[in-house]
Structure 1
């Protein structure tokens, strides 16, 4: 029988995406299912829909459809674990190096980190205070992130007790508003009903 730690999730990416979503690493449920954010307790798919980033709530097995909306998805560390606390410093270091190379190759307009931990390890901001949302101090045009804005949402994991569901969903709405302001939103804004 194949252990879930032997299953790695694919990265869905292409050049110049509106948003590349980046999580920490696949958990047991997602690795076993073979799809990003497959755990029913995870708010990622709900957040995309309720935040106005997709016209309907996608299912984890529809992960590849993110590309239809000009979004991509990956993890900072590819190795699946039961919990991100099982990751080692060398996992993060290798993951961050590969991630920066991917960004420099594919150049997404926005990189949305699903969780402060993913952001800290990707950017080396391990000690600094991190606020959620757009990261102006590391935005657009730095050496590691050429042409990419950085955005942080609270982890959508069901284990995240630091933020309410409503607070986590609201950050997706902020990302959606930012994309609209930049005219990068893939979904047309419908006129109000008459």
Structure 2
């Protein structure tokens, strides 16, 4: 089952995963495996007021957030994708960004961004690349396989983007 894009005109941030995993593709929901830290990172960084379940992905649109993938083909691991698939995926993603015009594009993997867009020296953070008026930010992959970014560090990187995008911290609970 292909994953549907969560797109709307002029989103604040369009998040872009590398490609769907087999579990996500089978159930038709993004970031559906237990080992993926995406939903927790969104809440801990302040993008969402609570940790969402994969079935609640459509709620992202209410906060000006969208979700897509660079490559549509599901795999067990993103490392199974070829360079050609990543380059073609980046071209397709660029078309979506030019059509929908989000303020920010957040690519969820440094290596996929480097390969797909041909920017070998890219690191986590804002990039010099612009797609139309859309600013580009690269985030670490939220996969549990990404040992370089444990949950707390991953959430801090997501929070840096939220602050750069001038979005409110939705994770804060009102004082009692």
Q: Who wins on radius of gyration, i.e. which is larger?
A: 1
Q: How many residues align?
A: 176
Change (3 A) 1:120 1:55: same
C-alpha deviation, 1:33, in angstroms: 1.9
Of residues 4, 13, 22, the one that matches 1:19 is 13
How do residues 119-158 of structure 1 correspond to structure 2 at under 5 angstroms?
119-125=113-119, 127-128=120-121, 130-135=122-127, 137-138=128-129, 142=130, 145-158=131-144
Moved over 6 A (4+): 186-192
How do residues 176-191 of structure 1 correspond to structure 2 at under 5 angstroms?
176-180=162-166, 185=167
Residues 71-120 of structure 1: per-residue CA shift (max 9 Å, x gap): 11000000101111111222212211111111111111000111102322
* 2:155 counterpart of 1:159: no
User: What residue in structure 1 maps to residue 161 of structure 2?
Assistant: 175
C-alpha deviation, 1:65, in angstroms: 1.1
Change (3 A) 1:131 1:191: same
Of residues 61, 82, 89, the one that matches 1:88 is 82
User: What residue in structure 2 maps to residue 43 of structure 1?
Assistant: 37
User: What residue in structure 2 maps to residue 4 of structure 1?
Assistant: none
User: What residue in structure 2 maps to residue 99 of structure 1?
Assistant: 93
Of residues 106, 110, 126, the one that matches 2:104 is 110
TM-score, with length taken from structure 2: 0.91
